[in-house]
Chain A
Amino acid sequence: MKEKIASQLKKILQTGLFVLLIFVSYEPLKAQQNTVVKGAVLNDNNEMLSGVTVNVTGKNGKENYNGTTDENGIFVFYKLSAGKSYDFSVSFVGYEIGVIKNYLVKQQENNSLLVKLKNNKGAMQEVVITALGIKREEKSLGYAAQTVTETAVKDAKTNNWVNSLSGKVAGLNIQGTGAGPMGSSRITLRGENSLNLDNNQALIVLDGVPISSKITGTGYNSHLATDSPVDFGSGVSDINPDDIASITVLKGPGATALYGSRAAGGALIITTKNGSRKDKGLGITYNTNVSIDQVNRWPDYQYEYGEGRTNAYYSYGDSPDGINTSTGVAAGRAWGPKFNGQSYFQYDPTTPKNLAIARTPWVAQPDYIKGFFQTGVTFNNSVSVEGGNEKGSARLSVSHLKNTWIIPNTGYERLTAALSVNQKVTDKLKINGKVNYTNKKSDNLPSAGYNNQTLMYFLIIGTAPNIRPEWFKPYWEPGLVGVKQKNPFNPGPDNPYLDIYENINKMNKHGVVGTVSANYEINKKLELMIRAGVDMAFEFRSQQRPYSMTKFPQGSYREQNVFNYEVNTDALLTFKDEISGKIKYTVSAGANAMRQTYDFAGLYAERLAQPGIYQVSNSLDQSVADPQKSSKAINSLYATTQWSYMERVFLDVTGRNDRSSTLPYGKNAFFYPSVSTSFLLSDLFDLPRQVSFAKFRLSWAQVGNDTRPYQTSKYYDRIYGNSFTNPGTLYNPNLKPEIISSYETGLDIRFLKNRLSVDAAVYQNKSRNQIIAIPLDPTSGYSSALINAGLIESRGVELQVKGTPVLTNKFKWATTLNWSTNRSYVRELANGITSQVIYNHSNNVTIEARVGGRMGDMYGRGFQRSPEGKIIYNSTGLPAVLDTKTKVWGNAFADWKAGLMNEFTYKNLRVSILFDYQHGGSMYSQTNHKSNTLGKTNITLPGREGGITGDGVVLNSATGKYEPNMVKVTADNYYETIYAISNAEMNVFDATYLKLREARIEFNLPQELLIKIGIKQTSIALYGRDLFNITNFPGFDPEGGNLNSGTITPGVELMQFPSTRNMGVNLTFKF
Chain B
Amino acid sequence: MKRMKHISLFVILISSLLVACTKKSFEEINTDPNRPGEVNPGVMLGQMQYRIVNSSIGAARGFTHELMQVTAPRSSSRDGVHRYFITPGDGVWTNFYNNITDMEDIIQLSDKLVEKNYKAIALVYKCWAYSILTDLYGDVPYSDAIKAVEGNFQPKFDSQKDIYTQILKDLITANDLFDDSKALTYGGDNVYPSNTLSGGKNIGIQRWKKFGNTLRLRLLLRLSKRQAEMDVNTQITEILSNTVKFPVFVSNADEGIFKYPNVYPYFNPYYTARQLDWRDGTYYTKFFLDKLNAVNDPRRAVWALPVTVGGANVYQGIESGYPTSTEYVVGKNSSYPDALKTSSYLGVMMTYAEVEFIKAELALKGFNTGKTSKVHYESGITASMFQWGAAVPAGFLSQPGILYDATQSIEAQLEKIMLQKYYAYYFVDYQAWFEKRRTGYPVLPRGTGIPIENKFPYRLPYPTYLQSLNPANYAAAIATMGNTDKSDAKLWWDK
- Nearest A residue to B104 via CB reads A781
Q: Are B43 and A714 in contact (CB under 8 A)?
A: no
Q: How far is the CB of B103 from chain A (nearest CB, A)?
A: 10
Evaluate whether A665 and B26 lie within 8 angstroms (CB atoms) in the complex, with A635-B21, A725-B47, A781-B104 already known: yes
- Number of B residues with CB within 8 Å of any CB on chain A: 77
- Whether A60 is near chain B, meaning CB under 8 Å from some CB there, is no
Q: Are A779 and B470 in contact (CB under 8 A)?
A: yes
Q: Are B265 and A331 in contact (CB under 8 A)?
A: no
- Within 8 Å by CB of A629, from B33, B38, B141, lies B33
CB-CB contacts of A703-723 with B at 8 A, as 1s and 0s? 000000110111111111111
Residues of B within 8 A of A635 (CB): 17-18, 20-21
- CA separation between A569 and B20, bound complex, in Å? 13
- Whether A65 is near chain B, meaning CB under 8 Å from some CB there, is no
Evaluate whether A780 and B152 lie within 8 angstroms (CB atoms) in the complex, with A551-B272, A571-B13, A725-B44 already known: yes
- CA separation between A666 and B23, bound complex, in Å? 8
Q: Are B101 and A528 in contact (CB under 8 A)?
A: no
Interface residues of B in 432-478 (CB under 8 A from A): 465-466, 468-470
Q: Are B276 and A491 in contact (CB under 8 A)?
A: yes
- CA separation between A571 and B18, bound complex, in Å? 11
- Whether B409 is near chain A, meaning CB under 8 Å from some CB there, is no
Q: Are B34 and A627 in contact (CB under 8 A)?
A: yes
- Whether A633 is near chain B, meaning CB under 8 Å from some CB there, is yes
Residues of A within 8 A of B2 (CB): 523
- CA separation between A492 and B32, bound complex, in Å? 40
- Within 8 Å by CB of B48, from A713, A725, A781, lies A725
- Nearest A residue to B9 via CB reads A528
Q: Are A628 and B34 in contact (CB under 8 A)?
A: yes
- Whether B394 is near chain A, meaning CB under 8 Å from some CB there, is no
- Whether A661 is near chain B, meaning CB under 8 Å from some CB there, is yes
- CA separation between A1060 and B265, bound complex, in Å? 41
Q: How far is the CB of B451 from chain A (nearest CB, A)?
A: 12
Residues of B within 8 A of A833 (CB): 468
- CA separation between A742 and B32, bound complex, in Å? 34
Evaluate whether A780 and B154 lie within 8 angstroms (CB atoms) in the complex, with A552-B272, A665-B26 already known: yes
- CA separation between A1069 and B10, bound complex, in Å? 47
- CA separation between A471 and B264, bound complex, in Å? 36
Residues of A within 8 A of B3 (CB): 522-523, 526
- Whether A841 is near chain B, meaning CB under 8 Å from some CB there, is no
Q: How far is the CB of B362 from chain A (nearest CB, A)?
A: 34
9 CB contacts below 8 A, A to B, read A331-B276, A492-B274, A632-B30, A633-B26, A659-B21, A661-B30, A665-B30, A724-B43, A726-B102
Q: How far is the CB of A570 from chain B (nearest CB, A)?
A: 9
- Within 8 Å by CB of A452, from B6, B264, B274, lies B274
Evaluate whether A777 and B155 lie within 8 angstroms (CB atoms) in the complex, with A621-B263, A720-B265 already known: yes
Residues of A within 8 A of B112 (CB): none
Interface centre among B98, B147, B263, B325 (most CB of A within 10 A): B98
Residues of A within 8 A of B25 (CB): 633
- 8 closest Cβ contacts across the A-B interface? A720-B265, A723-B47, A621-B264, A715-B35, A781-B146, A780-B148, A710-B32, A779-B141
- Whether A606 is near chain B, meaning CB under 8 Å from some CB there, is yes
- Whether B244 is near chain A, meaning CB under 8 Å from some CB there, is no
CB-CB contacts of B20-59 with A at 8 A, as 1s and 0s? 1101011101111111111100011011101100000000
- Whether A425 is near chain B, meaning CB under 8 Å from some CB there, is no
- Within 8 Å by CB of B153, from A569, A720, A776, A881, lies A776
- Nearest B residue to A720 via CB reads B265
- CA separation between A628 and B104, bound complex, in Å? 27
- Whether A1006 is near chain B, meaning CB under 8 Å from some CB there, is no
- Whether B14 is near chain A, meaning CB under 8 Å from some CB there, is yes
Q: Are A777 and B466 in contact (CB under 8 A)?
A: yes
Residues of B within 8 A of A713 (CB): 37
- Nearest B residue to A631 via CB reads B29
Q: Are A724 and B36 in contact (CB under 8 A)?
A: yes
- Whether A801 is near chain B, meaning CB under 8 Å from some CB there, is no
- CA separation between A589 and B31, bound complex, in Å? 31
Q: How far is the CB of A564 from chain B (nearest CB, A)?
A: 16
- CA separation between A724 and B25, bound complex, in Å? 27
Residues of B within 8 A of A624 (CB): 264-265
- CA separation between A833 and B46, bound complex, in Å? 36
Q: Are A591 and B34 in contact (CB under 8 A)?
A: no
- Whether A730 is near chain B, meaning CB under 8 Å from some CB there, is yes
Residues of A within 8 A of B98 (CB): 726, 728, 778, 783
- Nearest A residue to B141 via CB reads A779
- Nearest A residue to B98 via CB reads A778
- CA separation between A147 and B484, bound complex, in Å? 62
Q: How far is the CB of B153 from chain A (nearest CB, A)?
A: 5
- Nearest B residue to A977 via CB reads B77
- CA separation between A834 and B471, bound complex, in Å? 13
- CA separation between A573 and B324, bound complex, in Å? 79
- CA separation between A573 and B331, bound complex, in Å? 79
Q: Are A778 and B272 in contact (CB under 8 A)?
A: no
Residues of B within 8 A of A717 (CB): 35
Evaluate whether A526 and B6 lie within 8 angstroms (CB atoms) in the complex, with A776-B469, A779-B146 already known: yes
Interface residues of B in 248-306 (CB under 8 A from A): 263-266, 271-272, 274-276, 280
Q: Are B36 and A715 in contact (CB under 8 A)?
A: yes
Interface residues of A in 505-558 (CB under 8 A from B): 522-523, 526, 528, 530, 550-553
- CA separation between A718 and B37, bound complex, in Å? 11
- Whether B79 is near chain A, meaning CB under 8 Å from some CB there, is yes
Q: Are A329 and B263 in contact (CB under 8 A)?
A: no
- CA separation between A523 and B2, bound complex, in Å? 10
Residues of B within 8 A of A730 (CB): 148-149
Residues of B within 8 A of A723 (CB): 43-44, 46-47, 188
Evaluate whether A720 and B30 lie within 8 angstroms (CB atoms) in the complex, with A624-B264, A665-B23 already known: no
Interface residues of B in 211-238 (CB under 8 A from A): none
- CA separation between A835 and B467, bound complex, in Å? 13
- Whether B145 is near chain A, meaning CB under 8 Å from some CB there, is yes
- Nearest A residue to B464 via CB reads A884
Q: Are B148 and A785 in contact (CB under 8 A)?
A: yes
- CA separation between A452 and B31, bound complex, in Å? 39
- Whether A637 is near chain B, meaning CB under 8 Å from some CB there, is yes
- CA separation between A778 and B30, bound complex, in Å? 27
Residues of B within 8 A of A720 (CB): 46-47, 50, 264-266
CB-CB contacts of A763-806 with B at 8 A, as 1s and 0s? 00000000000011111111101000000000000000000000
- Within 8 Å by CB of A522, from B6, B37, B50, B272, lies B6
- Whether A864 is near chain B, meaning CB under 8 Å from some CB there, is no
Q: Are B10 and A571 in contact (CB under 8 A)?
A: yes
Q: Are B329 and A718 in contact (CB under 8 A)?
A: no
- CA separation between A728 and B38, bound complex, in Å? 16
Interface residues of B in 51-105 (CB under 8 A from A): 51, 77-79, 93-94, 97-98, 100-102, 104-105
- Whether A852 is near chain B, meaning CB under 8 Å from some CB there, is no
- Whether B406 is near chain A, meaning CB under 8 Å from some CB there, is no
- Nearest B residue to A528 via CB reads B10
- CA separation between A550 and B273, bound complex, in Å? 8
- Whether B140 is near chain A, meaning CB under 8 Å from some CB there, is yes
Q: How far is the CB of A721 from chain B (nearest CB, A)?
A: 5
Q: A630-B34, A781-B145 are in contact. List 14 more A-B contacts (CB 8 A).
A: A522-B6, A526-B6, A550-B272, A591-B18, A606-B264, A624-B264, A628-B34, A668-B26, A713-B37, A714-B37, A714-B149, A720-B50, A780-B146, A977-B77
- Within 8 Å by CB of A710, from B35, B51, B329, lies B35
Q: Are A328 and B280 in contact (CB under 8 A)?
A: yes
Q: Are A781 and B26 in contact (CB under 8 A)?
A: no
Residues of B within 8 A of A878 (CB): 77
Q: Are A779 and B272 in contact (CB under 8 A)?
A: no
Q: Are B264 and A637 in contact (CB under 8 A)?
A: no
Q: How far is the CB of A1017 from chain B (nearest CB, A)?
A: 45
Evaluate whether A775 and B265 lie within 8 angstroms (CB atoms) in the complex, with A709-B32, A719-B47 already known: no
Q: Are A715 and B37 in contact (CB under 8 A)?
A: yes
- CA separation between A777 and B97, bound complex, in Å? 10
Q: Are B20 and A633 in contact (CB under 8 A)?
A: yes
- Whether A876 is near chain B, meaning CB under 8 Å from some CB there, is yes
Residues of B within 8 A of A523 (CB): 2-3
